[in-house]
Structure 1
């Protein structure tokens, strides 16, 4: 049955306009992004196929082009549209951090870092470059590692800090294992980077470890010494 003959309150697009975006289920949101279905199948039915194939909404967000295109009626064009939508969401979070004190807005910072790093299959080490008001200048991925670790060189961090003319920095890395608990190596590395940054009078305000369901702040844990 065509979605056009459904009651308006049950059509995802009309439901969004009348009741707000929060009223839509995951499948309905995906149906709106799809715009239309395929022969013999509505956009909502295709959306349910996509969620079933990729397990959940997170699976849709992180799907490769091959995985996405394995659903009948979907291909590179729709995949590009979805990826553009996800990237707009991430960039909007970044814009917020460029307008506020990152160090004093830990929850917003965690949301941003989770969007950036939670689904990375390899470990990444990055810096949040901050100005004198602790507003975000840039997010810089400095090192990419294996699934277990990333080699981090403080001298390379210092070079980038000077290029960005940052007044302070926040360290961040992800744990592909999904467990955000800081390791002894993480704590030791943080101390080494703090000591290196003292040479250029740039404070390390925090170090975040991004896991699957949690992001840990060294400052909140009292681990910055």
Structure 2
């Protein structure tokens, strides 16, 4: 097949396919090809997208790449990296708008997607909280503590103080594991219990503690650890 997508049958061109059938009908390489717009010598945008996904392993890893690594790839550069960051920022803001209007308990998938996007690309461990009102709608998202790749120091007193400042009725905690393993550690379970106990003193509930690692996530609530 020609390396020029414009030479392909119309029904097989990613942009036309998206317009005709919707984004969900496209594969990851096809979606990425629309973002890339052009290929490189000897490769169509779809071929380049396939090579990138093979190099990074999956789309999520590509989205998490830092600028230095991203720009090392032929066909990519600072302009494409800036476009990618703009896309991610728009996705974050869209999901923030969505979850702010919904109950976090009745739409957990949207909440999880929102938090995953907030923490994507972090090279260090970051502990964050989503503060919720009495109807469990989002008041605010705040990164609370930043640590090294080995862990973050979390101080329940600061979480309580911030929750009271937002007049929150409940919170959802989240942090990333740059190690790539989402399973909660003993320290994760311990800090969750300390937060539950501290916030209970001021009648604020901890609804969940989510741990993200790459494209996977674990809910301590779903594991019965809350």
- Structure 1 unpaired stretches of 5+: none
C-alpha displacement of 1:134: 0.5
TM-score normalized by the length of structure 1: 0.85
**Cα pair distance change 1:145/1:9, threshold 3 Å:** same
C-alpha displacement of 1:51: 2.9
Helix, strand or coil: the match of 1:171?
strand
**Cα pair distance change 1:11/1:115, threshold 3 Å:** same
**Cα pair distance change 1:4/1:183, threshold 3 Å:** closer
CA contact (8 A) 1:49 1:71 kept: no
Measure, in 1, the Cα distance between the counterparts of 2:6 and 2:187: 58
Helix, strand or coil: the match of 1:141?
strand
Map of 2:62 onto structure 1: 60
- Structure 2 unpaired stretches of 5+: none
CA contact (8 A) 1:50 1:68 kept: no
CA contact (8 A) 2:177 2:211 kept: yes
Map of 1:43 onto structure 2: 45
Q: Which moved more, 1:134-143 or 1:20-29?
A: 20-29
Q: Which moved more, 1:189-198 or 1:149-158?
A: 189-198
Deviations 1:132-189 (A, max 9, x none): 1110111111001111211111221122213322222122222333333333322222
Measure, in 1, the Cα distance between the counterparts of 2:7 and 2:101: 46
**Cα pair distance change 1:18/1:175, threshold 3 Å:** same
CA contact (8 A) 2:133 2:139 kept: yes
TM-score normalized by the length of structure 2: 0.85
Helix, strand or coil: the match of 2:202?
coil
Measure, in 2, the Cα distance between the counterparts of 1:181 and 1:39: 43
**Cα pair distance change 1:217/1:34, threshold 3 Å:** closer
Helix, strand or coil: the match of 1:204?
strand
What is the number of equivalent residue pairs in this alignment?
Answer: 224
**Cα RMSD for the two superposed structures:** 2.4
Map of 2:225 onto structure 1: 223
